[in-house]
Amino acid sequence: MPEITKSYEARDVEAKWYAAWQEAKCFAGHAAPGQETYSIVIPPPNVTGILHMGHVLNNTLQDALIRRARLEGKAACWIPGTDHAGIATQTMVEKHLKKNEGKGRRDLGREEFLKRVWTWRDEKGDHILKQLRELGCSCDWDRTHFTMDPGYSKAVLTSFVKLFNSTDEQGRACIYRGKRMVNWCPTSLTALSDEEVEMRPTKGFMYRLRYELVEPSTITDAEGNVTPFTHLILETTRPETIAADVAVAVHPDDVRYTHLVGKKVWRPLGERVQIPIIADEAVDPAFAAGALKVTPAHDKVDFEIGQRHQLPVIDALNADGTMNEFAGPELAGMERFAARKKAAELLEASGNLIEAKAYENNVGYSQRAGVPIEPRLTQQWWLRYPRVEEAKQVVRDGLIQMHPERWSKVYLNWLDNIQDWCISRQLWWGHRIPVWYAKGIDREKLTEADLRDPNKIHVSLEGPADPENWIQEDDVLDTWASSWLWPFATLGWPDAEAQAKANFSQFYPTTTLATGADIIFFWVARMIMAGLEFAKPGAPVEERIPFKHVYFNGIVRDKQGRKMSKTLGNSPDPLDLIQKYGADGLRFGLLQMAPLGQDVKFDEDRIESGKNFSNKLWNACRFRQMNGAMSDNSSLGAILARLDASQLDDDDHALLTALLDTMKTVERGFTDFEFAGATQRLYSFFWNDFCDWYVEVAKARVQDPAVKDHALAVQDLVIRQFLLLFEPFAPFITEELWSLLGYAAPGKPFVQDARIESPADLIAALNARGIQLDAHASGRVETLKQFVTLARQLKTEQNVGQKRDVKFLALGADAAWSALSAALAKLTRLVGAAEISRAAAELALPAIVTPFGTLFLDTGVKVDAVAERVRLTKELDTVGKHIAGTEARLANVTFTSKAPAAVLDGARKQLAELQAKRDEVARLLASLG
RNA sequence: GGACCCUUAGCUCAGUUGGUUAGAGCAUUUCCUUGACAUGGAAGAGGUCACUGGUUCGAGUCCAGUAGGGUCCA
């Protein structure tokens, strides 16, 4: 048996065991027929991403879940992988190209550019998966997937083709192409979905403008006064688009303007043209002066107004956010924000700018590029979501449970207001849409009927048989239109052979999805719809859902509650933390501060405490090893066989009771996703119940040959069960100790080869050895602990806290003394005294009142009566207050008549104890003279 | 504007269905390197549980409102 070193060196241990696990294929997900399964798909990080604290929390949780499942004997499978992350990766490579070669993607051409992206991916990708290994993640690496792999790509294209040929719940084609207003990112040069747009309050100006009436009018008020009416007043934040105005709209019921409807105003910028005044319900008469400039090309509401009134569309912006010739000669070619300034200057010069006031409003930003998006009219592919109603129902019915439950509401609310999904992206890195257009047709003018005409449009995986007559769509699919297939595409779908090989039928639906709530719409909701639609056609709904539980972990924030970000530099590098505190320390510390569904305020001290706990565990095991040779630890049965039921004392009973309680807490932690509670109980059990008390108490027993084997067997038992409970959270140190203390059975070298006992299993195993746990032992041990604390307190107060040769004298009734003397040996040791003997009468010595009567401390020095009197008086005062409170409670008739008996008894008992204590303290005071 | 969450010790957080004197880690005070562990041990100090009202014999816990902080959706 190798000797355990003085302190725990995490890094050596971690590297060794991870290699061993991989070598032994410990993480392989195989399901035997009929075996209960537990499967998780990883939220695939961006292929070029690096590990941050959010990943650490998310993946530690998944690893804990999957490791626990293994210990419970389930066929566990955790599928890893990465996401091609269309925009993010393409942008990254483009930047790199620009910097190193001074070229853009168009200089290289599509084919060459994609080659470069693949090279980049091969060189720099998957780094994050290696980092997850450092953390101890037990993914089945042989199942690593990438959303652009051939098999996965086939799944993506298959899903598109299937959707193209199917209808939504209202019988409409799921996929259509249409020229509609989209969120356009002028930096990435692509359309975005609504979810990729982030509203941010943005400071700017509200420009108050005059639009001259072509035929000035007059207003006649109630008194018959007539005033000239020469212009309309409008407000806009975007004067640079004025040249694209095609009308001014007012509310049809707005009496201020009804007489003007049908008349015209001069457009104040660009070519001097007249535009009509129209009436539309969409105008808010209360906003500004109640008139709205209508610019159909650059605003969604305006576009809809334009449609209703058959207005032309003038697009004054280029794709990259610069103005084009329709913006007028002064603005053409300018960048949009410069043009805004310039437009204001021009308006001011022409006298049409009344004022520009500072204004803050919500502006949509491209989440990825961080620039304001432009509403832009373009041809895109759209998806009408399938299975929307079913997706709501599975959550309402609890087939899919969200934790914390409140996220269900957010989810349902989104589905209630669901909008069609713009799935095409004007990118190259991604899955190219499997649509071919017949040569010679005008793509801009395809009707819904044309889309379904196989002579004009070809949609398939393989492409047309006569490719020379067709041109493939340039656009690729939104990244999320590939990752929404993740739970089943990683299990081989749609290839039957691959599915069989991957144990699709056993691992789907997966058990738990652990992710952040920030992607509940992007990913979670869409996966549910995709799963219902594709995974097991025709199967009952409970077999089609992609997962049964969704656990939303919090966001890791810094101490001030800010999100961790590169720019703020407030995000510690997880690998540094692993270096400093060990992977186990990081995992354990982080989980301790991660209560269900709350954001985590990161505190490095907590991680340090995780490391310290590792060391504590290490040393407790080291001490066990030093106390006696290891006997057969290879199974629970073997250890139990070494227990002597007749030797079990109160401490054994109390410890085993606490162990059972810990087992229950941890079990509940896993079913309810209450990991913080589980880790905290593990901590307090091991440190307080086991080390602080039991190991100390057992020091005496271990010296006694008659009970030594038994006492060590209890320790071996508790350490074994603890390691099993702790392994999911701290796999490295537990593995090392499992091995060092001989818990591994022959041919079963790893912790995961063992089966964790449930609390009921352990009770049954104890019963089978003739052991019934004594429910009252814990209370008696608690009393002894109190006695020890009080005795130590007395020593500290008398400035002999560290001396071990002091003498105590206890004055109490026969019953108290007999209880005390039964535990005398260990108490003497624990309080640090030469002896504790019985006093015959009150003594003129410093004293403290304990549950076993009054305890006097003989330091050999004359007692300081004045100091004692002060101390005892204070004590008497405190006790008196508690007595008064309890008496008042008991004197209340409504309390005594309504409170349950147990509470009443407790109060009465407490009062009696307090009164006895008061009397004793009073006697002591009196004896001081 | 709608929905949700949070407010407990100096800091970060626990506190299960209402029930003795509200807990932990870190920080802090005093003492201790005694044979597991100084990454440690012992003893202590530190809290009107944001505020107001209600329900109840009893509220950190349940209800309503107020204030402050945060998130999501419009």
Closest alpha carbon to A695 in A728, A675, A722: A722
Ramachandran sector of residue A458 (left: φ over 0; alpha: ψ -120 to 50; beta: rest): beta
Ramachandran sector of residue A673 (left: φ over 0; alpha: ψ -120 to 50; beta: rest): left
Q: For residue A882, say whether its CB is under 7 Å from any atom of strand B.
A: yes
Q: Torsion over CA of A819, A821, A822 and A824, rounded to 10 degrees?
A: 130
The answer to whether residue A151 scores a pLDDT higher than 90 is yes
**Is A415 in contact with A394 (CB distance < 8 Å)?**
no
Ramachandran sector of residue A45 (left: φ over 0; alpha: ψ -120 to 50; beta: rest): beta
Give the percent of chain A with pLDDT over 90.
Answer: 41
Q: Which residue has the tokens 């399938």?
A: A386
Q: Rounded to whole angstroms, how far apart are CA atoms A601 and A687? A: 25
Q: Rounded to whole angstroms, how far apart are CA atoms A137 and A129? A: 9
**Quick one: which H or E segment has residue A275?**
strand A274-279
* Chain A residues 222-251, Cβ below 7 A from strand B: none
pLDDT for res A863: 73
Q: Rounded to whole angstroms, how far apart are CA atoms A711 and A696? A: 12
The answer to whether residue A1 scores a pLDDT higher than 60 is no
**Is A207 in contact with A239 (CB distance < 8 Å)?**
yes
Q: For residue A167, say whether its CB is under 7 Å from any atom of strand B.
A: no
pLDDT for res A152: 96
Q: For residue A692, say whether its CB is under 7 Å from any atom of strand B.
A: yes
B5 C1' to A514 CA distance, Å:
20
pLDDT for res A316: 86
Q: For residue A747, say whether its CB is under 7 Å from any atom of strand B.
A: no
B50 C1' to A595 CA distance, Å:
22
pLDDT for res A757: 95
Q: For residue A789, say whether its CB is under 7 Å from any atom of strand B.
A: yes
Cα A762-A764-A769 angle, rounded to 5 deg: 100
Q: Rounded to whole angstroms, how far apart are CA atoms A534 and A489? A: 10
Identify which has the larger pLDDT, A80 or A179.
Answer: A80
B7 C1' to A560 CA distance, Å:
15
Q: For residue A470, say whether its CB is under 7 Å from any atom of strand B.
A: no
The answer to whether residue A251 scores a pLDDT higher than 60 is yes
> Which nucleotides in chain B lie less than 7 Å from some protein C-beta?
3-6, 11-15, 19-21, 24-27, 30-34, 36-44, 56-58, 69-70, 72-74
Identify which has the larger pLDDT, A181 or A764.
Answer: A764
The answer to whether residue A139 scores a pLDDT higher than 90 is yes
Q: Rounded to whole angstroms, how far apart are CA atoms A285 and A296? A: 19
pLDDT band at A742 (very low <50, low <70, confident <90, very high): very high
Strand positions, DSSP E, A374-503: 374-383, 401-403, 421-422, 424-425, 435-438, 457-459, 470-472, 476-477
pLDDT band at A548 (very low <50, low <70, confident <90, very high): very high
Joined together, the tokens standing for residue A828 give 């003497």
ipTM summary value: 0.94
Q: For residue A57, say whether its CB is under 7 Å from any atom of strand B.
A: no
**Is A301 in contact with A241 (CB distance < 8 Å)?**
no
- Closest residue to B36 (CA to C1') is A623
Which nucleotide lies at the shortest CA–C1' distance from A611? B39
Which nucleotide lies at the shortest CA–C1' distance from A613? B39
- Closest residue to B12 (CA to C1') is A603
Amino acid at A838: R
Q: For residue A595, say whether its CB is under 7 Å from any atom of strand B.
A: yes
pLDDT for res A133: 95
The answer to whether residue A566 scores a pLDDT higher than 70 is no
Largest CA-CA distance found in chain A, in angstroms, rounded: 118
Which nucleotide lies at the shortest CA–C1' distance from A597? B5
Which nucleotide lies at the shortest CA–C1' distance from A690? B36
Q: For residue A601, say whether its CB is under 7 Å from any atom of strand B.
A: yes
Q: For residue A119, say whether its CB is under 7 Å from any atom of strand B.
A: no
B11 C1' to A514 CA distance, Å:
29
B52 C1' to A168 CA distance, Å:
53
* Chain A residues 628-647, Cβ below 7 A from strand B: none
Which nucleotide lies at the shortest CA–C1' distance from A665? B16
Neighbours of A615 (CB within 10 A): 18
pLDDT for res A257: 78
Q: For residue A410, say whether its CB is under 7 Å from any atom of strand B.
A: yes
**Is A196 in contact with A365 (CB distance < 8 Å)?**
no
Which nucleotide lies at the shortest CA–C1' distance from A562? B70
Which nucleotide lies at the shortest CA–C1' distance from A601? B12
| Domains of chain A and any CATH numbers | 190-374 (3.90.740.10), 435-472 (no CATH), 604-775 (1.10.730.10), 784-927 (no CATH)
Q: For A355-371, how does the pLDDT look when each residue is reduced to its tens digit (9 = 90+)?
A: 888 887 888 888 878 88
- Closest residue to B21 (CA to C1') is A882
pLDDT for res A221: 75
pLDDT band at A884 (very low <50, low <70, confident <90, very high): confident
Q: For residue A671, say whether its CB is under 7 Å from any atom of strand B.
A: no
pLDDT for res A734: 95
Q: For residue A615, say whether its CB is under 7 Å from any atom of strand B.
A: yes
Range A453-482 average pLDDT: 93
The answer to whether residue A707 scores a pLDDT higher than 70 is yes
Neighbours of A623 (CB within 10 A): 16
pLDDT band at A638 (very low <50, low <70, confident <90, very high): very high
Q: Which residue has the tokens 């004896």?
A: A927
Q: For residue A792, say whether its CB is under 7 Å from any atom of strand B.
A: yes
pLDDT for res A703: 87
Q: Which residue has the tokens 């340039």?
A: A474
Q: For A171-187, how does the pLDDT look when each residue is reduced to its tens digit (9 = 90+)?
A: 889 999 988 888 888 88
Least confident segment among A13-17, A182-186, A365-369, A785-789: A365-369
Q: For residue A898, say whether its CB is under 7 Å from any atom of strand B.
A: yes
Ramachandran sector of residue A898 (left: φ over 0; alpha: ψ -120 to 50; beta: rest): alpha
As a whole number, the mean pLDDT across chain A is 88
The answer to whether residue A726 scores a pLDDT higher than 90 is yes
Count CA within 13 A, CB hemisphere, residue A256.
12
> Helix A777-797 to helix A650-672 angle, to the nearest 10 degrees?
110
Look up residue A5 and give its DSSP letter. Answer: P
Range A93-100 average pLDDT: 87
Q: For residue A885, say whether its CB is under 7 Å from any atom of strand B.
A: yes
pLDDT for res A129: 92
B39 C1' to A175 CA distance, Å:
61
pLDDT for res A597: 67
B23 C1' to A556 CA distance, Å:
24
Range A154-166 average pLDDT: 95
Radius of gyration for the alpha carbons in chain A, expressed in angstroms and rounded: 38
* Chain A residues 545-564, Cβ below 7 A from strand B: 559, 561
The answer to whether residue A567 scores a pLDDT higher than 70 is no
Residue A640 neighbours by CB under 8 Å, 6+ apart: A713, A717, A765, A766, A768, A769
Q: Exposure pattern of A629-659 as b/e (b: 16+ CB <10 Å)?
A: eeeebbebebbbebbbeeebbbbbbbbbbbb
The answer to whether residue A195 scores a pLDDT higher than 80 is no
Please give, one letter per residue, the 3-state secondary structure of A805-862: CCEEEEECCHHHHHHHHHCHHHHHHHHCCCEEEECCCCCCCCEEEECCEEEEEECCCC
Which nucleotide lies at the shortest CA–C1' distance from A609? B25
Amino acid at A183: N
Q: For A752-761, how does the pLDDT look when each residue is reduced to its tens digit (9 = 90+)?
A: 999 999 999 9
Q: For residue A205, say whether its CB is under 7 Å from any atom of strand B.
A: no
Which nucleotide lies at the shortest CA–C1' distance from A906? B20
pLDDT for res A526: 95
Q: For residue A274, say whether its CB is under 7 Å from any atom of strand B.
A: no
pLDDT for res A2: 66
Which nucleotide lies at the shortest CA–C1' distance from A612? B39
Q: What's the burial of A802, exposed, middle or buried (CB within 10 Å: 0-12/13-18/19+)?
A: exposed
* Chain A residues 794-823, Cβ below 7 A from strand B: 796-797, 801-802, 804
B61 C1' to A402 CA distance, Å:
24
* Chain A residues 2-41, Cβ below 7 A from strand B: 6-8
Beta pairing, strands A274-279 & A353-366 = unpaired
- Closest residue to B72 (CA to C1') is A410
